[in-house]
Amino acid sequence: MEVRLMAGGRSYAIDHVTTNLMSGRYDVKGAMHAHPVFHIMYILEGNGLFTVGQTSSEVGPGMLYIVNPNEPHQFHFGTRGPLLNLESTFVLRGTDDEPAEVNLFDLIEENRSIHISESLRSAPLDVPARYRPMLDEGYRRILDLYDLPQLRAHFAIQVIDLLARVETIVANAVHAEKTVHTAEDTVERAKHFLLSNRHRSVTLGEAAQSVHVTPNYLCRLFKEHTGETPMGYLLSARMREAGSLLALTDLPIYTIAEKLGYEEPSYFARLFRRVYGVSPQTYRRRQLSPC
């Protein structure tokens, strides 16, 4: 019975070459080379420097490297101590039985109907902690076949199983990348709303409503991406403008307070002192002083 991988409307035979748990490689550096096989390499412990295509990266635990057929690569194992890693090498053969020069990321894109960015394709994947046991198990299932000669015909099945696990990790990385971009967009739109409305009284609820999220969620996103709260961001923007108005105009302080959305000049003055350490009057005098 022949097991074939179906992907992108095409059929591939799986020629398993080798799968290994490699340990003890310390300061071992190979030459840059390429060949018509896939390497799927998962780092367990240690460090190194890997170059795949045009990208060089420091190796660390939890990193997953996908090397496609005929993609130039160079591995420097254990740059600062022994490296421990799992690796599987195999060939996909087309209907003509020749090695197929296909890109695994392209196959995953077609199978999942997703877009994999160039940044994900060119860098190692950082496997989330919750997926690491699953990926480790995929390699171990292939390794177990070496001890069961009667099951060695199952190598192709287990390579497909490993690829399914890798596909799950890639799809998760795509989703995580989209989530980050969506969160950044939400924060930027909230910033725009706050800055556009800094001359009137505005609430956190209004800011959250403008980007269609809850106030608590907006606070969390803002804190993660800017290090401050939405209202803290608004306060900073208002106080920067207040400083400019005090230094560059002769507007009364109560007018400046009104222009920045504060109905009570005394409240504005307290906030200003909290930020600048002096009252608005003192700040203006110091800005106007020639020395």
Separation CA 182–CA 177 (nearest Å): 9
| Predicted local confidence at residue 237, as pLDDT | 96
Confidence band of 204 (pLDDT split at 50, 70, 90) = very high
| Predicted local confidence at residue 213, as pLDDT | 87
pLDDT digits (tens, 9 = 90+) for 105-162: 999 999 999 999 998 999 899 999 999 999 999 999 999 999 887 776 799 999 999 9
Average pLDDT, the chain: 93
Q: What is the mean pLDDT of residues 233-249?
A: 96
| Predicted local confidence at residue 152, as pLDDT | 67
Q: Is pLDDT at 249 greater than 60 in this prediction?
A: yes
Nearest to 236 by CA among 220, 221, 222: 222
Domains recognised in the chain with CATH numbers: 4-178 (2.60.120.10), 197-291 (1.10.10.60)
* CA neighbours closer than 13 Å in the CB half-sphere of residue 85: 27
Write phi, then psi, for 5 (nearest 5 degrees).
Answer: -95, 125
| Predicted local confidence at residue 290, as pLDDT | 62
pLDDT digits (tens, 9 = 90+) for 10-57: 999 999 999 999 999 999 999 999 999 999 999 999 999 999 999 999
Separation CA 174–CA 221 (nearest Å): 20
Entry pTM? 0.69
Separation CA 197–CA 31 (nearest Å): 60
